[in-house]
Amino acid sequence: MKKYLTLENGDVFVGTACGDLAGEIDGELVFTTSMTGYQETLTDPSYKNQIITFTYPLIGNYGISLGTNQSDKVEAAAVVMKEMTDQVFHYQSVISLDAYLKQSKIPAISGIDTRQLTKIIRQYGTMKASLTNFPIDAQKTANDHQASVIKMASLSTSGDKENDHVVVVDFGVKDNIVRSMQRPGIDVTVVTPDSTYEDISELHPTGILLSNGPGDPQDYSNFLPVIEKLQANFPIFGICLGHQLLALANGAKTYKMTFGHRGINHPVKNLETGDIFITSQNHGYAVDADSVKSTPLKVTALEVNDKTVEGLRYPGRPIFSVQYHPEAAPGPHDATKLFDHFIELMHTNEEVH
């Protein structure tokens, strides 16, 4: 059965349908350079409503395993691959990728030149696309639908008043970020971006974590005044979208990147120590470096390849952020110690060093 991937610029790719064969979808077309970790990627809320192109030519060879998902369902809208294997080789696998996509009602296409597709995205930038079972007008653009990323607030505290208490503002948080904070002596409460400053302060947090998530940070402009109040009273750690929102709340600007950073091999240099980390990233927007100069924030890290802002801190306050994902799901473990650093910061409530 054929499947048609029609891009906003009019290019059409014809391949073989897989996953949910009957499914048709519109979404934002992106690519990731990760060679492994397709299960974590598909269930990452940061990819909500996006059509993911895997640049690695063979996907699905180790199947789907339990305990690997980053949310309770597949968040991606659709999947694009060069080849999806029909054989699985891994002792922990419980189902094949194709069966998992069918079960999750996620359409997919294989058998197309993902290298050519990636070059088009690099040339024209992230764009809308449609995945259909029949050819459509090449001039038709994908419907721009925006589904909510807000979840119901959840409480995961032990009730021990002696414990530290991290409040995670959920813009599309990955499960492994929450798990990275849940440890002996630390309780975690997850709240929605609808929360007010009063809602959060009444939880008596020891620290605030601004989570990752999809989309344009400008869409959360209503939450910026809340961040301004929070940073005056609590330690804050921002990750990915949370990093961008912290920048906006302090007067910096963000911009849409041509094709974003999506992969698990992005080198980042810490400007204060000289250390270089290999990081996992998934974002289509970035903080404008020049705009930071007029804010109280300081740039602490840059992406080695294109010099985009990868880290910020607020001198004199226990506030810092990173553009990349330190929770290593999927990806390298170079930056996992940032969670320990945040915990130390909450205990001392002093300036980030």
Which of these is catalytic: 240, 261, 266, 310?
240
The angle at the Cα of 250, spanning 299 to 287, to the nearest 5 degrees, equals 50
283: closest CA among 230, 320, 247, 337?
247
User: Do 14 and 249 form a contact (C-beta atoms < 8 A)?
Assistant: no
**Is 331 annotated as belonging to a binding site?**
no
Catalytic status, residue 350: no
- Within 10 angstroms of residue 205's Cβ, the number of other Cβ atoms is 24
**Is 92 annotated as belonging to a binding site?**
no
**Is 131 annotated as belonging to a binding site?**
no
Catalytic status, residue 325: yes
CA distances (Å), origin 318, targets 6, 9, 67, 177, 233: 47, 45, 33, 19, 10
Which of these is catalytic: 40, 303, 310, 327?
327
**Is 241 annotated as belonging to a binding site?**
yes
**Is 67 annotated as belonging to a binding site?**
no
Catalytic status, residue 327: yes
User: Do 296 and 243 form a contact (C-beta atoms < 8 A)?
Assistant: no
328: closest CA among 320, 338, 319?
338
- Measured CA to CA, the distance from residue 3 to residue 315 in angstroms comes to 53
- Measured CA to CA, the distance from residue 353 to residue 351 in angstroms comes to 6
**Is 46 annotated as belonging to a binding site?**
yes
Contacts of 238 (CB under 8 A, 6+ apart): 209, 210, 244, 245, 246, 312, 320, 321, 322
**Is 56 annotated as belonging to a binding site?**
no
The residues with which 14 forms a beta bridge, in sequence order, are 4
Tokens 């996509």, located at residue: 101
User: Do 334 and 196 form a contact (C-beta atoms < 8 A)?
Assistant: no
**Is 213 annotated as belonging to a binding site?**
yes
- Measured CA to CA, the distance from residue 135 to residue 70 in angstroms comes to 34
Catalytic residue ranges:
240, 325, 327
Annotated binding site for L-glutamine: 46, 213, 215, 241, 244, 282, 284-285
Annotated binding site: 46, 213, 215, 241, 244, 282, 284-285
